[in-house]
Structure 1
Amino acid sequence: MQLNTLEDLRAGKLAGSRRLKLACGLSEFPPEIFALADTLEILDLSGNMLATLPDDLPRLNKLRILFCSDNRFTELPAVLGQCAELEMLGFKANRIRQVPAAALPARLRWLILTDNQLAELPPEIGRCSRLQKLMLAGNQLRSLPPEMANCTGLELLRIAANQLSALPDWLLSLPKLSWLAYAGNPFCQDSSVQSDVSPIHWDDLQVIHQLGEGASGVIHHAEWRSAEGAQPVALKLFKGAMTSDGLPLNEMNACITAGAHPHLIPVLGKLAAHPEAAHGLVMALIDSNFRNLAGPPSLDSCTRDVYPAEASFDLDAAIRIALGIASAAEHLHAQGITHGDLYAHNILHGADGQAMLGDFGAASFVPADDPLVAKALQRIEVRAFSCLLEELLAFSALDQDSIPQGDFLRGAVNREKVQKLKFLQADCGQENVSARPLFSEIVVVLGALMPG
């Protein structure tokens, strides 16, 4: 979203704008914004010094999305609840201690309160029937209101790095919950690394160039010089700050504990002796021909990934991707880990359906010695897999034009495979959580659909 200037706003140069972004040290809400009342849908006032919003904010009658992260709010403004069209609120990294019931808009779909000082949520949050995405990592919550059991549309929940003593029973049976992160709470903070890796000294690494950057860290192309010789590697340096998913060190712990699997990016070692004491992991460098399967969700899609318009997969390649990811998820749960972010945008894929599951930023450890909770958590992740499978089917080349003329047998086989995949997808996504299959069962079904 393009950064605008207060000068342009005051000069009338932004008339008719649907989006507005101002970050210029504001301590008060600029009244000139109301000149856009008939068109403004997305307002981003992050990175200022605001502590209040005006009582007449509902004059912005088309406002759907409001970002006020990195400001000085100590309370979620009650006036927000009067904004008729407001669906998304982002108040990350403020000083918010209270969320008044009146502050919750009727149409609320996506609420971000990451990295604040919340000790509790109002029970009225249970009235937010349209809520799909709730991000609460990095607060001081000791419990969640039981009324949240009524949020039956909730799909993504981030409650990592709080003070929760347990996962509530109702949470494990929410019919659409798919992406859950809860690491760094007292009930799971004692989880230890199950398979350690060797330290790799900073002096044995030469950073070549940056490959990418995410919420939790920066990934570099580097060269590792060891006794066996020099080899190219990927070096992830963690930022250490709170992310929307939780604490980066929890991510590092989960990456190491996951161990080896053909569809997980191998961890070669843990960084040692960084000059600024930064934490890091040295991982295998994935072939540059691998690409992200999709892009992350947009403001409009909310919880669903965005695929490029030209996306298309051969049916057998789509099955191979699904099988690889299901196998990786089965392996993770066997190690007592939930991925928490099983999404196409966290999957790298290459030719013929090769696939690698990455990004452990939302990973959490399953509470020890509770097999019922472990299976419930796995079945939550199975719904995320259902969404992935639905997308792979939607973008697979299933039309008869893709089959050589006269190859009736292949056409019949493909149609049968599609029907079985659709049945599996529906089974994985059913609202009765306890009736969903486990990943071990999913792997068997998909394995039987692989070409001989």
Structure 2
Amino acid sequence: MTTLAQLKAGQLAGATRLDLACGLTEFPREIFELADSLEILNLTGNALTSLPADLHRLTHLRVLFCSDNAFTELPECLGQCAKLSMIGFKANRISHVPAAALPPQLRWLILTDNSISQLPDELGQRPLLQKLMLAGNQLTHLPPSLANCANLELIRIASNRLTHLPDWLLTLPSLTWLAYAGNPVEMAVTVTGDDGTPNIPWSELELGEVLGEGASGIIHKAIWKPQALPVAVKLYKGTITSDGSPQHEMHACIAAGLHPNLIKVQGRVIGHPQGQAALVMSLIDPSYRNLAALPSLVSCTRDIYEPDTRFSLDVALRMARGIASVAAHLHLQGITHGDLYGHNILWNATGDCLLADFGAASFHATTDTLESRALQRIEVRAFGVLLGELLERGEGAVSEDLIELQKSCCQPDVLARPSFEEIEGVLSSI
């Protein structure tokens, strides 16, 4: 993290990225001295309420992060920034989004955890829009103009006030990852103590090292003392994430049930001293590792794989079968995962795999309706993207059947895509 003193001393000439988190209440004018080079500006974690009207003087600015500040309105000056494509204003106090604040090259907009009840119709006039993150607001509807956004692939609208999913949303040709839990539209599914999931007293757990941390919680290695069993304990945070509510994630984990390609839930923690929600889960064998890394600022909606990642076609096919099987299982339970991605898949050298992270999961009707069918086929496109990534890294000749399956999963006509049951049939025949 650079310092304000370095900026004011002129020591950052030529910098392409600037990160400042030092309690700023005003935009430092010295930033304009970097106008010839600055591409990424991160002002997250300050106390800003406004940006300068001449922000467009930063002619190379592509990415702007202003999360965890005190903005009540998305600044109109953003709309004048010719190259600005990624905007992040998570966890402010924003209630108003003016049309003038939307730059022409807008590709990725993050307005998670604010107080927005309405979005301008002009949002649908940004043809490059690919990623839209709106969880934790007060939206009762979405602008119908978003139907024009043919490139829109990821939408997070969890924890709002939507009473229905508009028809156009379910027909967007590129929509791949959708999270809408915690809205009135979501089918009411209550996970209670009667669901068969054991309650595990906090006093029976001995926490050890941290295995990982995500937006929704922290995972510890632990011992379940009465059984002397090594387990993993996920302690959920209470704040809204970019995907939605951690509480909804926990409910989806439990409702998902048992499947060979899911991490088994051992029980629900009770009696935590601070009342924190937590789950006890089976400990994953250390031979498993993440299939991919999160998307980058450049890739936007596409995972990042290590350059030397390669699979035999047998291993790639084994993983594809496993993920298709678990997705079919979830859909039968009325659950869409919402984040079916390589970075949420754990795998080992033989192609065994586990689908993890239910932070973007949503519930839908288990009956066969046009809506439930469309919601499931949106997730099929996510599988198609994943299958393409596996095949690109496969060693050996790929069968025409696999190539055609991948194309079918990603075709723009949502309801023409196969179901996961049909996908399983094709994969089992290869």
Is TM-score (shorter-chain normalized) higher than 0.5?
yes
1:436 pairs with one of 412, 417, 430: 417
Instruction: Please tell me whether residue 184 in structure 1 is matched to residue 182 in structure 2.
Output: yes
Aligned to 1:364: 362
Q: CA deviation at 1:196?
A: 3.6
Aligned amino acid, residue 424 of structure 1: L
Q: CA deviation at 1:192?
A: 2.0
Q: String of CA shifts for 1:4-37, please: whole Å, max 9, x gaps.
A: 1010011111100000000011111000000000
Aligned to 1:264: 262
Secondary structure in 2 matching 1:305:
coil
CA contact (8 A) 2:113 2:136 kept: yes
Aligned to 1:31: 29
Aligned amino acid, residue 386 of structure 2: L
Instruction: Please tell me whether residue 421 in structure 1 is matched to residue 412 in structure 2.
Output: no
Cα distance between partner residues in 2 of 1:319 and 1:243: 33
CA contact (8 A) 1:34 1:60 kept: yes
Q: Percent identity?
A: 60
Q: CA deviation at 1:208?
A: 1.3
Aligned to 2:169: 171
What pairs up with 1:193-272 in 2 under 5 angstroms? 193=191, 195-226=195-226, 229-272=227-270
Cα distance between partner residues in 2 of 1:57 and 1:301: 25
CA contact (8 A) 2:222 2:233 kept: yes
Cα distance between partner residues in 2 of 1:370 and 1:121: 32
Instruction: Please tell me whether residue 118 in structure 1 is matched to residue 116 in structure 2.
Output: yes
What pairs up with 1:13-412 in 2 under 5 angstroms? 13-188=11-186, 190-193=188-191, 195-226=195-226, 229-367=227-365, 371-398=369-396
Aligned amino acid, residue 78 of structure 1: E
Q: String of CA shifts for 1:169-220, please: whole Å, max 9, x gaps.
A: 1000000000000000012262223844010111111111110000000000
CA contact (8 A) 2:187 2:365 kept: no
Q: CA deviation at 1:369?
A: 5.0
After TM superposition, the score normalised by the length of structure 1 is 0.93
Secondary structure in 1 matching 2:384:
helix
Cα distance between partner residues in 1 of 2:238 and 2:276: 8
Q: CA deviation at 1:372?
A: 1.6
Q: CA deviation at 1:311?
A: 0.5
CA contact (8 A) 1:23 1:47 kept: yes
Aligned to 1:406: none
Cα distance between partner residues in 2 of 1:345 and 1:29: 36
Tell me which stretches of 4 or more aligned residues in structure 1 moved more than 3 Å. 367-370
Secondary structure in 1 matching 2:69:
coil
Q: CA deviation at 1:368?
A: 6.0
What pairs up with 1:437-452 in 2 under 5 angstroms? 437-449=418-430
Cα distance between partner residues in 1 of 2:215 and 2:186: 23
Aligned amino acid, residue 72 of structure 2: T
Cα distance between partner residues in 2 of 1:182 and 1:296: 21
Cα distance between partner residues in 2 of 1:169 and 1:370: 16
Cα distance between partner residues in 2 of 1:339 and 1:145: 25
Cα distance between partner residues in 1 of 2:32 and 2:310: 44
Pair 80,387 (structure 1): closer, same or farther in 2 beyond 3 Å: same
Aligned residues: 428
Q: String of CA shifts for 1:99-142, please: whole Å, max 9, x gaps.
A: 10110000000000000000010011110110000000000000
Cα distance between partner residues in 1 of 2:197 and 2:81: 52
Pair 196,153 (structure 1): closer, same or farther in 2 beyond 3 Å: farther
